[in-house]
Amino acid sequence: MKTLLLASLLAIPLQAASFETMTLDNCLEVIVSPIHTSPIVTICVTVKTGSTCEEPGTNGLAHFYEHMFFKGNAALPDQTAYNQRIRELGIVRNGVTSDEMVRYYVTLGSHRFEEGMEFMFNAIVTPLFDLEEMERERSVIMNEYERNTTGAWWSLWLAQEQVLAPDAPWRASAIGVPEVILSASPTAMNDFRERYYTPDNAALIIAGDVTVTEAFELASETFSSWEYGGRSNFDDLPVLLSVPKDTTVYVDSPSGIAYVSIVYAGPPFGLYPEASYPADVWGTYLDLMSRDFYTDLVTSGPFTSIHASYYTQRYFPTITFGGMVPPERTGEALEALRTEIAELLSLSYYDPDGIELAKDRLRRHRLLSEETSRDLALDSLPFWWVQGNGLDYYETYLDRLAAVDSEDITAFLDEWIASKPCVVFVMAPMDETEGI
């Protein structure tokens, strides 16, 4: 009986979440995905900004702005009133800043959907940037900065920014720099808001126990007064990543910690979206612990862990191989990784069963990312709306993925890895490593 039940479950077709879109007159794109599994709704606003939009004198403003989202606004004039309203509505909320995107979300009971939309509108459109609140938040952000700088990985992250983005390393640093964090003013915040926090540079995503009709009507009623901006330069920014020649970088680390990686410049997603399908299948194939990449480098090799992936981004699209190693085996690990990369360029490296396993894992990851309204509204739809400049790519992803074969994978590798320059990063305690 259990066997029959399992067979029945496996026979259920994989269904992607459904959504509908509309664009308001102010160019705000509204995306609605009805999910009626529980009486909650998640409202998310994603903005096309982040450190990639910053200059040396503004590096950190996108992150600082995210912190100020949770302060006073025209409807809730201070932190006390803001927190009180959160408690009244039973809101769970947060914000996330990355180098190419900022997201804010609130999740609450769907019976308070209208009040949640009003709450989000006031927070995103009418922030006050009270100087006293900003002063209190500086210490919070500086504590976050100091936690990062004292971590074991900080020196490696800093080296990657400097080497892989030599013309504008700040564009890869979402946390920012102390001088900007400590000097940010209400004027600077308002300048940033006027340039990037406009409806034509954002999307409103609603997922949960609502109907498409009521969500569109309420979005139009609530957000139509958000004034069009037309000042964002996000879509016109130059690609940041640059690997003009082979380079090796050594980074000191705490005792006992070592990491070896090799990084190539990948295809900028905005220019080469078609490359992402074989890239995704390839990276997932290499993640299979039953295939040569893992067995050669971990099971029978010097690494204790290993990964390889293409990072889908418009401006900093890396192809990275890397893993943890014992400090005394860094030289051996680097040689083994170079050998494996040379071998995986061959068509014979990939077997059909492994490719199908990889595609199935990607399909299941897609389903998992759509399992809850929060995951869909905060992670999946915002990311692909920003990267794809809309959701056409996301909507057709599974169909395009199904067509990928081993020849597509090797064509991707020939284009972006074979005979291309790379950067080697060796992070290890210098007094514990072998000669390289």
pLDDT digit string, tens, across residues 179-201:
999 999 999 999 999 999 999 99
Residue appearing with tokens 């999740």: 107
Q: What's the full length of the chain, in residues?
A: 436
Same domain, 169 and 267: no
Does some domain include residue 24? yes
pLDDT tens by residue, 294-335? 999 999 999 999 999 999 999 999 999 999 999 999 999 999
Local structure of 204: helix, strand or coil? strand
pLDDT at site 431: 77
Domain boundary among 177, 204, 236: 236
pLDDT at site 386: 97
Same domain, 255 and 365: yes
Residues whose CB falls within 8 Å of the CB of residue 226, separated by 6 or more in sequence, listed in order:
26, 28, 121, 124, 125, 198, 199
Distance CA 97, CA 104 (A): 9
pLDDT at site 17: 77
Please say whether the beta carbons of 288 and 136 come within 8 A.
Answer: no
pLDDT tens by residue, 356-404? 999 999 999 999 999 899 999 999 999 999 999 999 999 999 999 999 9
Same domain, 122 and 198: yes
Question: What residues make up the domain containing 207?
Answer: 17-236
Same domain, 143 and 252: no
Q: Is the pTM of this model over 0.85?
A: yes
* Burial tier of 304 (Cβ tally within 10 Å: 0-12, 13-18, 19+): middle
Strands 102-109, 20-23: pairing is: unpaired
Distance CA 282, CA 410 (A): 9
Same domain, 346 and 320: yes
What's the CATH code of the domain at 322? 3.30.830.10
Strands 423-427, 247-251: pairing is: parallel
Domain boundary among 207, 236, 265: 236
Residue appearing with tokens 């204790």: 304
**pLDDT band at residue 436 under the 50/70/90 scheme:** low
**Bridge-partner residues for 95, per DSSP?**
104
Does some domain include residue 436? no
Closest CA to 364 of 328, 398, 400, 340: 398
Distance CA 28, CA 436 (A): 54
Task: Report residue 187: phi and psi, to 5°.
Answer: -65, -45
Distance CA 18, CA 130 (A): 40
Percent of the chain topping pLDDT 90: 93
More confident residue, 56 or 4: 56
Does some domain include residue 3? no
Domain boundary among 236, 260, 282: 236
Annotate 137-147 with b (16+ C-beta within 10 A) or e (fewer).
bbeebeeebee
Distance CA 286, CA 341 (A): 11
Does some domain include residue 57? yes
Does some domain include residue 205? yes
pLDDT tens by residue, 411-425? 999 999 999 999 999
Mean pLDDT of 154-171: 96
**Bridge-partner residues for 202, per DSSP?**
47
Does some domain include residue 187? yes
Same domain, 255 and 188: no
Residues whose CB falls within 8 Å of the CB of residue 366, separated by 6 or more in sequence, listed in order:
14, 16, 380, 397, 398
pLDDT tens by residue, 232-285? 999 999 999 999 999 999 999 999 999 999 999 999 999 999 999 999 999 999
- Look up residue 395 and give its DSSP letter: H
Q: How many domains does the chain divide into?
A: 2
More confident residue, 11 or 176: 176
pLDDT at site 430: 82
Same domain, 223 and 278: no
Local structure of 19: helix, strand or coil? coil
Distance CA 206, CA 24 (A): 15
Distance CA 221, CA 228 (A): 16
**pLDDT band at residue 6 under the 50/70/90 scheme:** very low
Does some domain include residue 323? yes
Same domain, 230 and 252: no
Local structure of 423: helix, strand or coil? strand
Strands (DSSP E) along 291-408, which ranges? Answer: 307-310, 318-324
Same domain, 232 and 252: no
Closest CA to 243 of 165, 308, 337: 165
CB atoms inside a 10 Å sphere around CB 263: 22
| pLDDT greater than 80 at residue 435 | no
pLDDT tens by residue, 144-160? 999 999 988 999 999 99
Same domain, 139 and 287: no
Closest CA to 382 of 2, 15, 35, 98: 98
pLDDT at site 14: 43
pLDDT at site 12: 36
**pLDDT band at residue 2 under the 50/70/90 scheme:** very low
pLDDT at site 432: 65
pLDDT tens by residue, 272-304? 999 999 999 999 999 999 999 999 999 999 999
pLDDT tens by residue, 69-112? 999 999 999 999 999 999 999 999 999 999 999 999 999 999 99
Mean pLDDT of 16-31: 93
Same domain, 109 and 231: yes
**Bridge-partner residues for 341, per DSSP?**
none
Counting Cα atoms < 13 Å in the Cβ hemisphere of 201 gives: 27
Token pair listed for 367: 């389903």
Same domain, 254 and 226: no
Does some domain include residue 105? yes
pLDDT at site 7: 33
